[in-house]
Amino acid sequence: MATSRWTAPVGTAPPRRRGAVLERAILNAALEQLGEVGWKGLTMEGVAAGAQTGKAAVYRRWPSKEDLVADALEAGLPRAETAPDHGSVREDLLTLCRQVRQILYSAAGIALRAVIHECDHVQAERFQGVIVGGVVEPTVRLLREVIIRGIERGEVRSDAANGYVFDAIPAMMMYRSKVCASEWSNRELEEMVDQLMLPLLRPHAG
């Protein structure tokens, strides 16, 4: 009989782990199971088996599936920490868009979008903090730096540092990734920057 990937092979003792090491194994198992069976198929029992630990060890740390998944997603999302600075607002925006794409199409980013697609609106509210804190707010912070530097160089109009402009890239990328399942090719990123962002930012003529 084939051995399930969620159970240890016969005769193999599960590793004894505690504290942060065990928690990391559980979070990784949750992300892996999300990628394979999605939100609806994920179970606490399956995660425990994937982490080679007991179900009680999972429930002691996370009383609900929502809590476990939110922590797994938050811990797994890549972080964009530094604003690009190439001396050109166009190149900075393109680099920032590629960083956001890397987040959205990481294992945790794919799992996050799958969760949002599958869970109901009440459950989805539980993951709003992950979306805002892991994707939207970091992108807005870095975009603000890029635009302010562009203003200082004279590339960007002085009134462009506002919330509507800051929201444009994360809103577009989240919307098209979630609703349209766009993978955001390099050409699509260039078109968004050239046809949407640069016209918004360009100094007024005359």
Q: Per residue in 190-202, pLDDT tens?
A: 999 999 999 999 9
The count of other CB atoms within 10 Å of the CB of residue 11 is 5
Q: Three-state SS for 51? A: coil
Q: Which CATH number fits domain 77-201: 1.10.357.10, 3.30.470.20, 3.40.50.1370, 3.40.50.10490?
A: 1.10.357.10
Q: Per residue in 109-126, pLDDT tens?
A: 888 877 877 877 777 777
Query: Regarding predicted confidence, which is higher, 125 or 205?
Result: 125
48 token code pair = 């425990």
Q: Per residue in 18-54, pLDDT tens?
A: 788 999 999 999 999 988 888 889 999 999 999 999 9
- Measured distance CA(29)–CA(58) in Å, rounded: 11
Q: Per residue in 133-149, pLDDT tens?
A: 888 899 999 999 999 99
Please state the domain extents for the chain: 19-72, 77-201
* pLDDT at position 127 over 90: no
Report the candidate in 25, 30, 32, 104 with the shortest Cα–Cα distance to residue 67: 30
Residue 194: predicted pLDDT: 97
Q: Which CATH number fits domain 19-72: 1.20.1630.10, 3.40.50.261, 1.10.10.60, 3.40.50.300?
A: 1.10.10.60
Q: Per residue in 150-176, pLDDT tens?
A: 999 999 999 999 999 999 998 888 887
> What pLDDT band is residue 206 in, cutting at 50, 70 and 90?
low
> What pLDDT band is residue 57 in, cutting at 50, 70 and 90?
very high
Q: What are phi and psi of 141, to 5 degrees?
A: -60, -45
1, burial (CB in 10 Å: exposed 0-12, middle 13-18, buried 19+): exposed
Residue 182: predicted pLDDT: 63
- Residue 34 contacts residue 48 (beta carbons within 8 Å): no
| 159 DSSP 8-state letter | T
Against a cut of 0.85, is the pTM above it? no
Report the candidate in 115, 130, 139 with the shortest Cα–Cα distance to residue 30: 115
Residue 12: predicted pLDDT: 54
CA angle 52, 58, 62 (to 5 degrees): 155
> What pLDDT band is residue 180 in, cutting at 50, 70 and 90?
low
Residue 201: predicted pLDDT: 95
